[in-house]
Amino acid sequence: MCPPDAVDHSISTRFDSYLEDLQRLVSHPSISATGEGVRDCAELLESLCLEYGFDTTEIVETSGQPAVIAHAYVDGNPATEAPTVLMYGHYDVQPVEDSAWETDPFEPVIREQDGEAFLYGRGTVDNKGQHFAHLCAVQSLRETTGLPTHVTLFLDGEEESGSPHIEEAVRPRVDELTADVSINADGPVHDSGRPTVVLGNRGILLVDIEVRGPKGDLHSGHYGGAVPNPAWELLHLLETMRDGDGRITIDGFYDDVRPITASDRELLEAVEPDPEALVGHLDIGGLQGGPGESFLEQTLYYPSLNINGLESGHIGDGFKTIVPSKASVTIDARLAADQDPDDVYDRIVAHVEDHASDLVSVSISRGPSMDPLRTPADSPYVQPVVAAVTDGWGVDPIVKPASGGSAPYAVFANVLDIPHLTVPYGQPDNNQHSPNEHFSLEHFKRGIHTTTRLLETVRDVHEGSDAL
């Protein structure tokens, strides 16, 4: 299964030029929240894909920011019989706070810490450096053994804004994007430094609820105790959504949650944190109740209903004794496998309508959402991918059945009907989404090696090779 030494030699020989081009990519702002530099960065990626051995590229327009799609074919011929790997990445980045950066976030620099070199800059690890490793792998394979599979690269321009228009790019191009498996590199490896293979993620639904009472703020001495207070009414409403044990009481909230399988439990046991150490590290009194027998069951296999923030009245310096005119809350529901954001939203709306007080007006609005994703642990790609990561990284990976966070990968499983796996290349402490984001050069190089192994592995699975 392991590619010939020529591939590894090519990676080592060309690594400095790969790093220079990554710095060039990072130096282009591409902030989806504001639109700054997004179009220019998409055009740069088009040219880089062609330079790195892709046969075709396209900037795909959406109602928001564009996506970039590139194809690299075995022998340069789309008609060549070979499996296809769809590789997802995103080229947009988080906004920056310039004053908190030690160096300009869009003038990437290499700095050493404890003998290890890191590339500093916005997007180095999230996600330009990680998806650029795929381009480098394609070029290294092109120049040596040849591509073992067709490669379709899908680069999202809105991931940091919730990928609200990704389906606009995917659904009309099902035939073009059809693949055998989709793989992405994003996020950090395990805290221990071992590589990681992640089989899914929770989905998410964002909801805003606003309660309005009197037409303006009122003097609490003249009106308090008689006029309904929107803040109290909102708190009462929220209280109806969860019982004392932490279980969500919205009717049918858990109905569609996929059961935990025996193979899933085996994976969980291998990575379950020590609850006492976790509680001590977080400086809390303990973990709350609710469904799930462990921390990872609670955060990976069951949904949650989380209050992001509450707002009402006066919270600044001094006192302002009022009955506030309104109160609001933002909630996120993290969704477990098989839950549908549309269905969950309808259930939340029905609950609010049934439990809201008639003394105030209550409105509810829907924010962004992403579907959950779970690739079964017995998928024919899981163990071969684990072996490929071991070969590329030099260490056995930790296999996580899911991530508690949310991502847009389910669109490929749902629309294209293919399995998806995540193989992160970032180091654990990388400051993604924060000032001084940085990417380990060693992890960048290992990521390139690992991508070459992943492509070889998909070919072998397709051919039913005994090499695995």
Indicate whether 284 belongs to any domain.
Answer: no
C-alpha torsion sign, points 259, 261, 265, 267 = negative
Indicate whether 18 belongs to any domain.
Answer: yes
**Same domain, residue pair 33 and 117:** yes
Indicate whether 264 belongs to any domain.
Answer: no
**Same domain, residue pair 187 and 320:** no
**Same domain, residue pair 87 and 232:** no
**Same domain, residue pair 133 and 247:** no
The radius of gyration of the chain's CA atoms, rounded to the nearest angstrom, is: 24
Indicate whether 415 belongs to any domain.
Answer: yes
CATH of the domain at 217: 3.30.70.360
Single residue among 348, 370, 392 that ends a domain in this structure: 370
Indicate whether 282 belongs to any domain.
Answer: no
Q: Are 200 and 267 in contact (CB under 8 A)?
A: no
Indicate whether 250 belongs to any domain.
Answer: yes
End-to-end CA gap in the chain: 7
**Same domain, residue pair 97 and 191:** yes
What is the enclosing helix (H) or strand (E) of 90? Answer: strand 84-90
How many Å apart are CA 235 and CA 311, to the nearest integer? 11
Strands 196-198 vs 200-201: parallel, antiparallel or unpaired: unpaired
**Same domain, residue pair 317 and 454:** no
**Same domain, residue pair 310 and 430:** no
**Same domain, residue pair 148 and 99:** yes
Beta-bridge partners for 312: 327
Q: What phi and psi, each to the nearest 5 degrees, are found at residue 129?
A: -65, -40
Specify the residue for token string 């059809």: 178
Q: How many CB atoms lie within 10 A of CB 172?
A: 11
Measure the CA angle with vertex 406, ends 374 and 63; round to 5°. Answer: 110
CATH of the domain at 393: 3.40.630.10
Structural domain count, the chain: 2
Domain ranges, residue 65: 5-201+374-463
Residue 143 tokens read as 């120049």
Return per-residue pLDDT of the chain as tens, 468 residues: 444 589 999 999 999 999 999 999 999 999 999 999 999 999 999 999 999 999 999 999 999 999 999 999 999 999 999 999 999 999 999 999 888 999 999 999 999 999 999 999 999 999 999 999 999 999 999 999 999 999 999 999 999 999 999 999 999 999 999 999 999 999 999 989 999 999 999 999 999 999 999 999 999 999 999 999 999 999 999 999 999 999 999 999 999 999 998 888 888 998 899 999 999 999 999 999 999 999 999 999 999 999 999 999 998 899 999 999 999 999 999 999 999 999 999 999 999 999 999 999 999 999 999 999 999 998 999 999 999 999 999 999 999 999 988 999 999 999 999 999 999 999 999 999 999 999 999 999 999 999 999 999 999 999 875 444
Q: What digits encode the pLDDT tens for the residues 185-219? A: 999 999 899 999 999 999 999 999 999 999 999 99
How many Å apart are CA 42 and CA 28, to the nearest integer? 10
Give me the DSSP letters along 308-353: EEEEES--SSS---EE-SEEEEEEEEEEPTT--HHHHHHHHHHHHH
Indicate whether 428 belongs to any domain.
Answer: yes
**Same domain, residue pair 105 and 174:** yes
Single residue among 370, 387, 408 that ends a domain in this structure: 370
**Same domain, residue pair 456 and 310:** no
Q: Which of 51, 71, 73, 52 is nearest to 155 (CA)?
A: 71
Strands 84-90 vs 150-156: parallel, antiparallel or unpaired: parallel
Instruction: Kindly provide the residue ranges of all beta strands, DSSP E only, lying in 159-299, ordered along the sequence.
Output: 181-184, 196-198, 200-201, 203-212, 218-219
**Same domain, residue pair 343 and 386:** no
Residue 442 tokens read as 């060693």
Q: Are 374 and 420 in contact (CB under 8 A)?
A: no
Indicate whether 296 belongs to any domain.
Answer: no
Single residue among 322, 339, 370 that ends a domain in this structure: 370
**Same domain, residue pair 183 and 214:** no
How many Å apart are CA 193 and CA 213, to the nearest integer? 53
